[in-house]
Structure 1
Amino acid sequence: MAVDQAPTRPSLSQRLAAAWDSDICWSFRHSPLAIVSAALLLLVAFTSSFAEVLMPQNPFDMMQLFLDKANLPPVWLEGGSWPYILGTDMQGRDVLSAIVYGSRISLLIGAASVLLSMSVGVLIGLLSGYLGGIVDNLLMRLGDAVMSIPTLLVAILVSAIFRGLLPPEFRDAFAPLILVLALTLTSWVVYARMVRAVTMVEAGKEYVLAARIIKVPRRRIILRHILPNVLAVALVTATLNLGLAILAEATLSFLGVGMPSAQPSLGTLIRIGNQYFFSGTWWIVLFPALQLTLIILAVNLLGDWLRDALNPKLK
């Protein structure tokens, strides 16, 4: 008599092989722009994470700054000095080190604001699309009110309010948190609207109607059945909006309401360097601006690829 055997779980190597042969991995392997963009973002993330080991100087440590090394040009120009590859600023701060440390701050603030915005937007979109009625009207009218005000104006207003409420000695320490909250307040509406639209479509499908008939709790229907089907849309939106979040943080810092000079992000470095651009020290503003441009370009290209890869109409 044959004995039924329980199905064996696939091994790690089998799961990795299946993931490698999946549609999205195949699309990634055949997209040179996606590969280059991902490699560039990984390089920026790696160097930013291990900046203390890789960089010749900590730009936040005043003990490592020397005024006799101020305003040195890049190393390939006359007057340049090793190890200051991209030169130094007016305080003797290594430009390359400042860019790497500033990239870390810009990426962390951008990623944190996108994650928080996506979480809030997905929750509001699910509730609005599934419950409908007065809940839908109230949440969407709130989103319309937020969207009717320019994004930067709302972010500047929120940042100014929080800075005014905090004691002066805590403003610099809480600057990243203030920026994340300011960017989240203006960004959640995009996720909420897209998730609401997908939720309204999914709520009318047979599997949701069947779950309602057998009295499945509403919370379980939303979390177990509808949420997995809206995550792809939210993920694509988050990838596309990451570049906008980094750019918004840089804009706020450039305007002086973002990160302080003692903890410079890329926007702060551009603002500081812009003040000395016409004095001949062009490298102080040029290289941070190029770094910011490359990061945003890589994020946008990767987001475009992910949007196309997850679009069933293009398969």
Structure 2
Amino acid sequence: MADQTAASPTLARTPRGPRARLQGLVDSDLFHSFRSHPSAVFAAALLALLILTAVLAPVISPQDPYDLAALELWNSEIPPIWQAGGQWPYLLGTDVQGRDILSAILYGSRISLIIGFASVLLSLAIGLSLGLVAGYLGGWIDNVIMRVGDILLSMPFILIAILISAMAGAALPPALKDIMAAPILIFAIAVPSWVQYARTVRASAMVERKKEYVQAARLIRVRPWRIMLHHILPNTLTPIMVAATLSFGLAILAEATLSFLGVGMPPDQPSLGTLIRIGNEYLFSGLWWIVVFPAVQLCLIVLSVNMIGDWLRDALNPKLR
């Protein structure tokens, strides 16, 4: 009895709540792997800086590139500040309309990041749902879902996205084209992207549904959707996390490609792809900074995302532990 009484205060002082979960995260193998991986730390810091500057664009940017009243034509074609003719506060120069390049990059990064993140979430939701249903139920449902996925995989990704963007743009009235440009882009990128998630989840679900814990859940008459969500899905998330991280960079590149081809964001709502398309017209006229700096920003975002995805793939691979 005395031993139990002496042990009870110790049990009562066991840390719980958010602080304990945070401490558990810090002590986890994944966080230790992250700290011991210099390229992952560098990529995470770089990505955090790029996202933070994009979020704070209205505060730190010298100009609002969307405000036509703030554009001054006599300040057009100013070179970067370290070149002859550079002016403060236009650190990276201006374009032919007097738009500050740094401000346009910060605002354009926000659009590119939002579209990339939203398209990954949408494709992830579609792929997880269809993959779970196909892997758990099987039969003709599995055949129909996988054959649709095979058809999408047999067509070039960018061609499907262009077709969806063009058809949606033609179906909308002119007044709604610019307003719906971002949702159309998100949908166009997500539609051909869900197949990889569905195939990954389907393969894992087909393995998990034969295990004893799933059979036990069936015996006690647990609903199928509950088995899929609460039992099978958590055991399929490891490869999905890696795929989603790498797909984030691909989604940003896809948005930039569509905008560069003229079926993405309009010029009055420039993303990084739109800025590159506009600047490409003046590349050989000496105004190199209009296209180079947005392209460098796009490369930094995609590079940092891919480096984090590579680390995550190695950290979650049990064969490399």
TM beyond 0.5: yes
C-alpha distance in structure 1 between counterparts of 2:79 and 2:304, whole Å: 28
Aligned to 2:286: 280
Give unmatched runs, 5+ long, in structure 2: none
| Residue of structure 2 equivalent to 1:121 | 127
RMSD (Å) for aligned C-alpha atoms? 1.4
Residues 13-52 of structure 1, C-alpha deviations (whole Å, 9 max, x = no match): 3322221010110011011111111111111111111111
In the alignment, does 2:204 pair up with 1:206?
no
Partner of 1:25: 31
Rounded to whole Å, the distance in 2 between the matches of 1:106 and 1:278 is 26
SS in 1 for 2:145: helix
One-letter amino acid of the structure 1 residue matched with residue 229 of structure 2: L
Cα distance between partner residues in 1 of 2:269 and 2:225: 43
Task: List aligned pairs for 1:1-315, cutoff 5 A.
Answer: 10-315=16-321
Aligned equivalents of 2:72, 2:83: Cα separation in 1: 20
SS class of match (2:98): coil
Shift of 1:312: 1.4
Structure 1: state its 5+ residue gaps.
Answer: none
Q: Aligned equivalents of 2:151 and 2:158: distance in 1?
A: 15
If the length of structure 2 is used for normalisation, what is the TM-score? 0.95
Q: Residues of 2 paired with 1:280 and 1:212: CA distance?
A: 69
Displacement of 1:215 in angstroms is 2.2
**In structure 1, distance between residues paired with 2:17 and 2:119:** 37
- Give the Cα–Cα distance (whole angstroms) in 2 for the partners of residues 174 and 216 of structure 1: 42
Using the size of structure 1 for normalisation, the TM-score is 0.97
Residue identity matched to 1:187: S
Over 4 Å off, 4+ runs = 1-9
Residue-by-residue CA offset, 1:184-214 (whole Å, 9 max, x unaligned): 1110001000111111111111211222222
What's the secondary structure of 2:241's corresponding residue?
Answer: helix
**Which 10-residue stretch deviates more, 105-114 or 208-217?**
208-217
Shift of 1:9: 5.8
Residues in 1 aligned to 2:243 and 2:213: alpha-carbon distance in whole angstroms: 26
Q: In the aligned structure 2, how far is the partner of 1:234 from the partner of 1:138?
A: 22
What is the rounded CA distance, in whole Å, between the counterparts of 1:12 and 1:173 in structure 2? Answer: 41
